[in-house]
Amino acid sequence: MNQDFGTYATVAQAIAKLFQPYAEVIVHDLSTGKIAHIFNSFSKRRVGDDSMTEIDDQISLDQDVIGPYRKVNWDRREVRSITAVLRDPAGKPIGLLCINFDVSVFDGMASLAATFLKSSVIIDEPEILFLRDWKEKANKVLDDFLEQRGISVSGLSRDETIEIIGALDDAGIFTVRNSAPYVSELLGLSRATLYKYLKVAKDSGSKQQEIRGSRGKGARARKK
C-alpha cells in the first residue's frame, strides 16, 4: 500500500464524519487494484475488496476530478458520487478518492434537493470507472427494470422475477464468479430459487431463438 495514503485516509475520514451517515468515502490503491481505506460504508464494500475499476493512466486520468455522476446503491438508494485522482509528486496517478453521497435523504425536502442537485452538471456514469464493476451493472439493470414498471422488488410477480433474472443473465452478470449470492440478496430469493428461475429464463430464451430461427427459414423458403 502506498505510504501517502495515510494522509488521504485522514482526509477521507474527516469528510465521512462530517456528513455521516450520508457520505461513504473510499480510497482506492491503483497499484494493487484494491480498496485501501473506506469510511461509513453503505455499499457493502470492505478494505481489501477489489476496486473494480479498469483505468488507462495516460488517457482516462487526465482529469483531476471526475463527476459528479449518478449511481444506484444495492438497496436502490440513489447516490451522487465524485472521484478525485490522487497523484504522486511526479504527477502519476496512484489512487482514487471517491465520495458517495446518499441523496435519498432529500426525498422529503424538494427545495433543498433541487438546490443541491442543480449545483453541478451531472454526467453519465464514467465508463472508465465501471468497466469491471458487475455489481453496479446489476444494480442498474434491476433499477431500470423496476422503474419502467413502476414497482418495487417486493411487488415482483413470479414471471417478472424470471424476466429480470433473464435480463441480468443477458447482461453477463452470472458469468461472474460468486455473483449468485449478491443477486439472491438483491431479489430477496434463496439461492435454490434463483437457480431454478435462471434455468426457466434460459429455457425461455432458447425457445424464443428457435421460434425466430424457424420464422427466418420459412421466410427464406417462400422467397425461393
154 with 125, same domain? Answer: no
Q: What integer pLDDT is reported at residue 195 of this predicted model?
A: 93
54 with 128, same domain? Answer: yes
CB-side exposure of 16: number of CA atoms within 13 Å? Answer: 20
Q: What integer pLDDT is reported at residue 58 of this predicted model?
A: 37
Alpha-carbon radius of gyration of the chain: 21
Domain that residue 20 falls in: 1-132
152 with 48, same domain? Answer: no
The one-letter amino acid code at 137 reads K
Helical spans, DSSP H, in the chain = 5-19, 110-117, 127-130, 134-149, 158-170, 179-187, 191-223
161 with 92, same domain? Answer: no
Q: What integer pLDDT is reported at residue 60 of this predicted model?
A: 64
Boundary of a domain, candidates 132, 167, 200: 132
8 A C-beta contact, residue 96 and residue 86: yes
- Domain-embedded: residue 215: no
111 with 141, same domain? Answer: no
Boundary of a domain, candidates 132, 162, 178: 132
Q: What integer pLDDT is reported at residue 213 of this predicted model?
A: 54
Which backbone phi and psi does 133 adopt, to 5 degrees? -90, 85
Boundary of a domain, candidates 132, 167, 195: 132
Q: What integer pLDDT is reported at residue 122 of this predicted model?
A: 64
Q: What integer pLDDT is reported at residue 59 of this predicted model?
A: 40
Any idea what the CATH number is for the domain that residue 85 is in?
3.30.450.20
169 with 110, same domain? Answer: no
- CA dist 12 and 196 (Å) reads 43
* Integer angstrom CA distances of residue 143 from 74, 80, 109, 148, 150: 10, 15, 23, 9, 10
Q: What integer pLDDT is reported at residue 142 of this predicted model?
A: 92
pLDDT < 50 positions in the chain: 54-59, 211
69 with 144, same domain? Answer: no
Its sign, for the CA torsion 167, 171, 177, 178, is negative
Number of domains in the chain: 2
189 with 95, same domain? Answer: no
- Domain-embedded: residue 95: yes
Task: Indicate the pTM of the whole model.
Answer: 0.56
- CA dist 38 and 66 (Å) reads 19
196 with 175, same domain? Answer: yes
CB-side exposure of 47: number of CA atoms within 13 Å? Answer: 7
113 with 158, same domain? Answer: no
109 with 144, same domain? Answer: no
59 with 142, same domain? Answer: no
